[in-house]
Structure 1
Amino acid sequence: MISKENWEEFFLGYHIYKCAVASKNHFYFVLLELVEGNDISPRKRLVSIIVEDDDEVISCAEYDSEYFDLARLASVQKPTQQAVMVALDGDVAVMGSGFNGFEDSIPLGKPGLPLETSAHAVASIDGYAYVVGAWRSVCRRSALGQWETLADRSSLPKPEKNKFGRSNQGFKVIAGFSSSDIYAGGGEGDLWHYNGEKWNRCAVPTNMYIETICCGGDGLVYVGLQSGSIMQGRNNKWKLVHKGDMTLPFQDMVWFQDKVWCTSDYGIWTIENGKLTDPLLPAEVRSCSGNLSVNDGVMLLAGMYGATVFDGIKWMPLCSELT
């Protein structure tokens, strides 16, 4: 666990909003300032924690309230090891490899640009940052500060607008086994597969909203739907394996220790053999529910009340408001 002094300096007055694992002893967090009232925008912090033996090295960048609404976070290895934080409006901040601060924003606003309207998710695939957004926008950070669109409109058409000028389709999440085996989805059952050259729509047996995607180590794709429902499959073979009745959908789904782990602010669950189960976990672990990230043989669970790391054998608290 990080020291009480570092907890008070970097975390006190903030809560963990997003997390990402860089390595088994290096972790990134997006923190939101605790504010009262819906009319007050919180400040944000991007924090790096490296824990080695009894020592800890913490870096922190703070951003004013007008920046990084609905920030998303990924840890990438290419073109260099960094945390990449992306805002809804396409603003980008990075931390690591000798740089800490703003990077050129993702170009958006017109057809043909990397993003047409907004950024909804960022994920690391084959070490690079991928971002998806409304109107089936997809882009990749191919170099420092450079984004390229992957939305080839010959195979990935924009969804049709309804009478209100909106659409119930479009991307909210993205995940991949590799750069040539990617799934992106969102909207009402709007799921697509990218083979590195073109996109194909997946024929899924649902019109529920797609909230999360996990590419499992068993070769299957797990799709979290509204109300905690789960769909499992690949390409054009899919089935609904769990009908949920939760208030919140899963916020993150990851593959770790031969199973899928799912979390939201309400708890943490696992999927084994197509069945959603509620694992027996200590209360101090459950209190960290909210976000999940996996890399380098460890899984990080982080939320409103702290963060804990699982190495497959034991849970190790990293930081907590109870420190």
Structure 2
Amino acid sequence: MAKLGFLMCMPSPLPPHQNRPPSNSDNTFCLTRRQSFIFTSSLLSSFLLMRQNPNLSSFPSAIAQELDELDQDETRAVKIFQETSSCVVFIKDLELTKTTKSTSEVGLAEEENAKVEGTGSGFVWDKFGHIVTNYHVVSKLATDRSGLQRCKVSLVDSAGNNFTREGILIGFDPDYDLAVLKVDAVGNELNPATIGTSHELQVGQSCFAIGNPYGFENTLTTGVISGLGREIPSPNGRAIRGAIQTDAAINAGNSGGPLIDSYGHVIGVNTATFTRKGSGISSGVNFAIPIDTAVRIVPYLIVYGTPYTDRY
């Protein structure tokens, strides 16, 4: 039995960072297993065809063309990740276990006195420090009455360096599972996402999801647009209409991260997945809020803190 489960921020051990520098020789001279398998299969098939038809002499170029096409697909995925991953942020939901100062003075320096309650993703909206994510990623911060909830945002600057800031919640809309954080970083420190459109998407288009599933930072998954115009429940139980369905893997910790098209444009905000009851594992039926919806709502959240409908 399957159910729709929101990818809530959930406690998960964070993996150690691996800083192995990329090797040009690894990228240039190593065939992937898939390429090797296809090359071998194609070579065998072509040899058998040659035995049956000695006049057939163009098979080497056919094999080369097939491998070139695979290389182009892989090169495109690598390029998209390199150009867009710096706009994706890692969000940690913290709860202070004790305070030695007034709550207004407690910041990220007190993280040793905090426990990580969950992780999520988001992306840089603009150079003013606004971060877009899901409401359910920061719902504890939004409903906090104790003053002990904090939000830690890890970003990458234009030089490729990691840095961390406290995220201040400035607006949220549970109806569409969207929220906006503000970090104290501007200008060259930030790499805003390139915002695309979602109203012209077609089923079958390639798409890419970047996020932090289970705390593994900067994870890329690939797939296609599996369906359009889906209806999924929001955190408050209301229907979110027009959702994008994709088979790109989305798991706990991906919430709030961007769904990206082949041009590197953000076309959706990853938000939910169908999971088998009790497993917590994505079934390949995943959903994103259309970016057109975010473009309509986020500016109101930045200016007013609430969606347009809540102001009247």
Q: Which has the higher contact order (CA 8 A, sep 6+)?
A: 2
Higher strand residue share: 1
TM-score with structure 1 setting the length: 0.23
TM-score with structure 2 setting the length: 0.24
Larger radius of gyration: 2
